[in-house]
């Protein structure tokens, strides 16, 4: 994998945070292939606590979730430490650490609310590198990503 492809994937990871935190569910969903899968797992779980299928399903979930929290708090998704595990000309696998913070409208500072690792499968498309499968593995039990 050349440096341009690596940088394009890192740019897509950054856009994931920026688009979601900017409350842009359409732009957020465009980072995924049409038949993408997004999952969230509690620590050491074998089955996902949340599973979203397809770009439209991801967009609908993000729009509903962002609408429920509008005016209540601001979130920030801090992603770092991306490791490239494997790649081909048209696909790749990465892992990226994530820390999510929330800051209520009446709070002076943000608080960490979630940490974990994203396990990603990538697909090269005519629009660039897109998520084919994104699985969030939480660091602890009891985290609810539905709210």
CATH of the domain at 40: 3.10.450.50
- Which residues span the domain enclosing 96? 3-138
36, 130 Cβ separation under 8 angstroms? yes
Question: How far is it, in rounded angstroms, from Cα 78 to Cα 62?
Answer: 18
Count of structural domains, the chain: 1
Residue 147 has pLDDT above 70, yes or no: no
Specify the residue for token string 């962002």. 66
Looking at the domain assignment, is residue 16 inside a domain? Answer: yes
Looking at the domain assignment, is residue 21 inside a domain? Answer: yes
Looking at the domain assignment, is residue 144 inside a domain? Answer: no
Looking at the domain assignment, is residue 76 inside a domain? Answer: yes
39, 134 Cβ separation under 8 angstroms? yes
91, 124 Cβ separation under 8 angstroms? yes
Which pLDDT tens digit goes with each residue over 34-84? 999 999 999 989 999 999 999 999 999 999 999 998 889 989 999 999 999
Looking at the domain assignment, is residue 146 inside a domain? Answer: no
Looking at the domain assignment, is residue 147 inside a domain? Answer: no
Looking at the domain assignment, is residue 97 inside a domain? Answer: yes
First-last CA distance in the chain: 37
Which pLDDT tens digit goes with each residue over 77-135? 999 999 999 999 899 999 999 999 999 999 999 999 999 999 999 999 999 999 999 99
Looking at the domain assignment, is residue 25 inside a domain? Answer: yes
């Amino acid at each position: 994998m050349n440096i341009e492809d690596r940088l394009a994937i890192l740019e897509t990871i950054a856009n994931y945070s920026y688009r979601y935190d900017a409350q842009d569910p359409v732009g957020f969903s465009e980072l995924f292939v049409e038949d993408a899968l997004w999952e969230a797992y509690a620590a050491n779980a074998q089955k996902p606590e949340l599973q979203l299928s397809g770009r439209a399903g991801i967009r609908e979930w993000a729009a509903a979730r962002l609408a429920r929290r509008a005016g209540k708090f601001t979130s920030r998704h801090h992603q770092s430490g991306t490791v490239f595990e494997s790649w081909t000309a048209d696909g790749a696998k990465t892992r990226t650490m994530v820390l999510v913070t929330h800051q209520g409208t009446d709070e002076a500072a943000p608080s960490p609310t979630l940490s974990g690792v994203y396990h990603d499968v990538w697909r090269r498309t005519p629009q660039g590198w897109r998520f084919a499968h994104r699985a969030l593995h939480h660091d602890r039990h009891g985290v609810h990503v539905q709210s």
